[in-house]
Amino acid sequence: MRRLSFNAILAAMLLAAGSCAAQGHCLILGSDLFLAEDLPKTRDLNFTGNLKDILESYRYTENYSAGSFDCMDTCIIATRILQEHGYNPSTMARFALKGRDGESHMWLSVSDGLGRFAFIDTTAFASGRPVLGEVVAADESGNYSSGYVLISPMKVMQCFGYSEERFLSHLGAVEKTQQGQLYCAKRAEIRKGRAGSTSEIMEMQ
């Protein structure tokens, strides 16, 4: 997957969405997305603990449905919630080519401010867990440490043929489930989260 050319990825995306094909090559490498490889996983347990507290304090109010309410919608919602708590996640993705193993997926990466990252899968609710997402365990991080970082997530999704209205209509499909006080991220940790912007990943590649 990582060895495939960007043009091959674009071709797969254009085949997947007829409306995108009408626009030609609607994505620009470096402007809309870029490839990140082998991002190191954070070792900061306080950092991941704070993320877990936030993720477990919300749930989606819609059921998982591929193509209707899935990882694309939940990444947008989870990004908004995490930003409200002082973090700045980036959206990452892998694209499955026709005739090859694997499937397309989107998830979030959040920097700890020290050059390492926590990865969040926002589709845990598909298996019945009432959470916003799950911090990926260390033994599974290899499946999330490499992928395309979406500088313009909405543009990429629109290139697949999805409308902006779909995602905007789902922004409110979340509710808080814990009334107790969340662990508050220390100011230094909040600064780390804000440092975890897409530009930081670009500097590492």
- What pLDDT shows up at residue 205? 60
- Higher-confidence position of 201 and 194: 201
* pLDDT tens per residue across span 66-113: 888 999 999 999 999 999 999 999 999 998 765 555 688 999 999 999
Residue among 62, 55, 56 nearest 170 (CA): 62
User: Cβ distance 146 to 32 under 8 Å?
Assistant: no
| 82 contacts: CB under 8 Å, gap ≥ 6 | 51, 54, 88, 89, 108, 110, 193
| pLDDT band for position 27 (cuts 50, 70, 90) | confident
Residue among 152, 76, 72, 82 nearest 111 (CA): 82
3-state secondary structure of 93: strand
Is it the case that residue 3 has pLDDT exceeding 80? Answer: no
| pLDDT band for position 135 (cuts 50, 70, 90) | very high
| pLDDT band for position 199 (cuts 50, 70, 90) | low
Is it the case that residue 187 has pLDDT exceeding 50? Answer: no
Residue among 80, 109, 82, 84 nearest 94 (CA): 109
Q: Which residues pair with 170 in a beta bridge?
A: none
